[in-house]
A = this chain, B = another copy of it.
Amino acid sequence: MSLIPIRPGSSPGSGAERSDAARNRELLLCAARQLVEECGADGVTMDKLAERAGVGKGTVFRRFGSRAGLMMTLLSDAEAEFQGRFMFGPPPLGPGAPPLERLIAFGAERIRYVLEYGELARAAEASLHNRFEAPPAVLWHRHIEHLLRSAGFDADPWLMAMSLSATLDPDRLLHAVRVQHVSQERLEESWRQLVTRVAGGTVAP
């Protein structure tokens, strides 16, 4: 089978270059994710990334354009990864666990995600013209609604899913942790209490 050139005039040589570029890009993103894990998204700079990946700062700027460009790439990758896990991944977040267990796991993962991406998650939401109808927000809302229905909740699950989503607003979670010194564990436990009571289960002590 012969390859169909993507653009007229592209040669096998430029194809190899493209796959080199893809590998380099993945390497840079990998280094960036390490940095996010170590110091939070707010602490990632183009300088630190260049240093960690062992490349020049120019290379980093050529790949992502700006720090904002890097952050949007990281966030959209993280979002896609998170979506993949709650829709297709292993239980309890993914299919296979009882709906209430999945709901509990969803909130816990969402809290971790917001705390990891910090200002970035907040800024991404604030920059949207309509944060309630951004594709990821719509998907989370539908997911919560679906789990509520599966758990037998029938008192307007669509609207209840909206209220439950509200309790996971990045702005509010970050304020609780950074300003009010609420621990991640406390947030996760409160979410568990909330959804267990709403979905009609028995709250374990």
Contact = CB atoms under 8 A, between A and B. Distances in A.
Interface of A: 130, 132-133, 155-156, 159-160, 162-163, 166-167, 169, 172, 175-176, 179, 182, 186-187, 189-191, 193-194, 197-198, 200, 203
A69 B40 CA distance: 41
A160 B190 contact: yes
A132 B182 CA distance: 14
B166 A172 contact: yes
Contacts of A156: 186, 189-190, 193
Most chain B C-beta atoms within 10 Å of own C-beta, residue among A166, A176, A189 = A166
Contacts of A179: 130, 132-133
A106 to B, nearest CB: 15
A182 B159 contact: yes
11 contacts: A130-B179, A133-B179, A155-B189, A159-B176, A159-B182, A160-B193, A163-B190, A163-B191, A166-B166, A169-B169, A197-B197
A162 B172 contact: yes
A156 B190 CA distance: 7
Contacts of A162: 172, 176
Given A132-B175, A198-B198, A203 B166 contact: no
B200 A155 contact: no
A203 to B, nearest CB: 7
A176 B163 CA distance: 11
